[in-house]
Amino acid sequence: MGFDISVSVDGQQHVIDVEPRLLLIQALREKLKITGPHIGCESGRCGACVVLMNGHAVKSCMTLAVQADGAKVITAAGLAEDKRGRELQSAFHKHHALQCGYCTPGMLCAAVDLLEENLDPDDHEIREALRGNLCRCTGYQHIVDAVKDAAHELSSSRAHAEGGEA
Amino acid sequence: MYEFTYQRADTLGDAKTKLGSGDDPKLLAGGQTILPTMKQRLASPSHLIDIGNLSELQNISVESGHVTIGAGVKHADVASSAEIKSAIPGLAALAGEIGDPHVRHMGTLGGSIANNDPASDYPAACLGLGATIITDTREISADDFFTGMFETALGDDEIITAVRFPKPEKSGYMKFPNPASRYAVVGVFIAQHGNGVKVAVTGAAPCVFRWSEAETALNSKLSADAISSLTVPASDMNSDLHASAEYRAHLVGVMARRAIDILS
């Protein structure tokens, strides 16, 4: 039996009919054709499917689509509209924080969640925030460098903006 | 994942009614255990009753002698709660070490203890802090609640609504995490209460347990030296590809001594 859910994805409202056992990642990719979030392990280990649900990073392969009814979901593609997302994108480019790019959509969502609460994270805090995201290419250090750089850029632009207002 | 019927509960009473019907219904809170289990076809409930949005299960209240946390409160909210960090820092720290941030944004206290995974963290806090598990019908002491591997004292249609944790003088949790899953290979929660010390061990054996010899020794002297000569029998420990029974028995002592060093 299908179930109608209403979900906002990357700013666009959708009403979709889903089977209860359909995972959020499947609803995004197969029903809505939003292919930013990737299916990696599909068992909650790799984090390639991480999206922001109501502002928090969650694994969309460990969430039923019906659990996202009424939620606001942001995927990596939606981060193009987000200042932190854009800053991370350029920092990932600058620091070579991806090779194959398969983990990147999840990494970006997890990093945005961190930067929401902490614009001065140290290496340990960044690694803890990315604990649920596996990368088989980079060895992580370039990702950590990129997140740190993005945090620095965001906090200095905020300080600049606050200084300008004063 | 096999097919199931999905039902969303609007109130606790509604959840109770729905749980009473259906052949093999299960509650869905965060889903961080039940969904992977269903994907592996290790569970195939006939109905999933979603209690994830029940406001009755979301409260955190801190009173003079204890902290009460709703069963639906997520690990991330326990870890970041200023009130819990101040009242029972060891409990907030434990919640912040469960799984990874994404799991902590969905997983709930009630879900964790109802499942009673032998390697999960919260059962150690419940036992070490001498918590009371509050259900829709009664109150159960943690000592009576965790009855075996994935087994609890809960009745078939009983729903955990909250857990009441007495405030200890000091507490601390130390675990040796599985590097991939962050489940406890061995985790030890130690709390000093006005009436004595409690030592709860998770990950090591089929079910969380209190290490009474260590409690006796620490009641005489609360220091790592006091338990340095104590051991737990390896014959009681779990053995799997992550750690042998002998290694787990060794880790119980090591984690207990380290937990004493971080009591706060």
Domain boundaries, chain B: 1-48, 170-261
Residues 6+ apart with CB under 8 A from B146: B113, B116, B123, B126, B127, B152, B207, B208
Interface touch B105/A56, C-beta < 8 Å: yes
Q: Which residues of B touch A45 (CB under 8 A)?
A: 180-181
User: Which of B18, B39, B74, B100 is the best substitution to test chain A (most A C-beta atoms within 10 A)?
Assistant: B100
- Chain A CB contacts of B28 below 8 Å: 64, 67
Chain A residues in contact with B22 by the CB 8 A cut-off are none
- Hey, what domains does chain A have and what are their CATH numbers? 3-77 (3.10.20.30), 79-165 (1.10.150.120)
Pick the CATH number of B1-48 from 3.40.50.150, 3.30.43.10, 3.10.450.50, 3.20.20.80: 3.30.43.10
- The CATH code of the domain at B170-261 is 3.30.390.50
Residue A128 and residue A113: Cα distance in Å, rounded? 12
Lookup result for tokens 């994942």? B1
Q: Which amino acid is located at B72 in the chain?
A: G
Global pTM value: 0.95
Chain B CB within 8 Å of residue A4 CB = no
Asked if the C-beta of A63 comes within 8 angstroms of chain B's C-beta atoms, the answer is: yes
- Main-chain phi, psi angles of B152, to 5 degrees: -135, 175
Retrieve residue B82's tokens: 């200023």
Predicted confidence (pLDDT) per residue in B11-67, tens digit: 999 999 999 888 999 999 999 999 999 999 999 999 999 999 999 999 999 998 999
Strand partners, B197: B192
B232: left (phi over 0), alpha (psi -120 to 50) or beta: beta
Interface check for A44 against chain B (CB to CB < 8 A): the answer is yes
Render each residue's pLDDT in chain A as its tens digit; 166 residues.
Answer: 689 999 999 999 999 999 999 999 999 999 999 999 999 999 999 999 999 999 999 999 999 999 999 999 999 999 999 999 999 999 999 999 999 999 999 999 999 999 999 999 999 999 999 999 999 999 999 999 999 999 999 999 888 887 654 4
Among candidates A62, A66, A131 on the partner chain, residue whose Cβ is nearest the Cβ of B106: A62
